Amino acid sequence: MNYRHAFHAGSFADVLKHAVLCRILDYLRTKDAPFRVIDTHAGAGLYDLTGAEASRGGEWEDGIGRLVAAEVPPKAAVLLVPYLDVIGALNDRGALKVYPGSPAIVRAWLRPDDRLIACELEPKAAVTLASNLRGDPRIKTLEIDGWTALSAYVPPPERRGLVLVDPPFERDDDFYQLSKGLAVAHRKWATGIYALWYPIKGRPEPDALAKSLTKLGIRKILRAELTVSPLSDPSRLNGSGLIVVNPPWTLESELKALLPVLAGILGRDGKGGFRLDWLAGE
């Protein structure tokens, strides 16, 4: 499949990914020591939901559009505040026209000494990314292959932080690259937090990824999946998942509150579902 950020901006998959990203950032900010985020496949950073790419499928309407219009239970609503605050700051009240990609979300929560490295290989997206994030001394944008960046920039000088890996899955070996890339990076920086995003059309690829990750000998691997429709039609995107290595100790309980709410809001025809389990560790 091809999960180009611009075409799927604000989709249900982005909601899961970015809500979890904000929970991890919130945790990192609880300590005074600076942190660094390495975004290996950053995309363009900001997306016009009224533009041709996002409008083509209108996926945001069944993603962030549904979420902002929904009545969210209080506990989940509190957990979503860091995510929804970033979106609200970019849009007029009552209007949803701009959606932040992961580098823009990270930028919103960086403190003066925190840092972001945002990597994007596709030339047009890389130029737009650099333009969207220009003028911020805390941020470096690089036109570089994300798989190279995954290994090249760890460990960071701060020794605290997150590596976010969400490739477009244009290549048949991207699931394999997730496992291989994590293995290499983790050997260099075993204490870092890693968040690996993947699409779910059917079970074979996600299950093979989980199996390969359990063989790496990494101690703490948490899996969170959100499905919005049954997996009976493998030609469509039916869900997405995040593998979080070295998750914050708060994340499991937060996801227990968030995932059922997101499944209920974002599920198609009331058929949303979720999975939360440990592949290794707890």
Contact 41, 167 (CB under 8 A): yes
Give, in order, the Cα–Cα distances in Å from 61 to each of 28, 58, 115, 247.
Answer: 31, 6, 32, 30
Look up residue 139 and give its two tokens.
Answer: 């941020």
d(CA 223, CA 220): 10
Fill in the DSSP letter of residue 268. Answer: G
Give residue for tokens 């960071």: 156
Sign of dihedral through CA atoms 170, 203, 45, 178?
negative
Q: Edge-to-edge, what's the strand order for the sheet holding 115-119? A: 139-142, 115-119, 36-39, 161-165, 193-200, 239-245, 221-227, 273-280
Which residues belong to the active site? 166
> Residue 276's CB: how many other CB atoms inside 10 A?
16
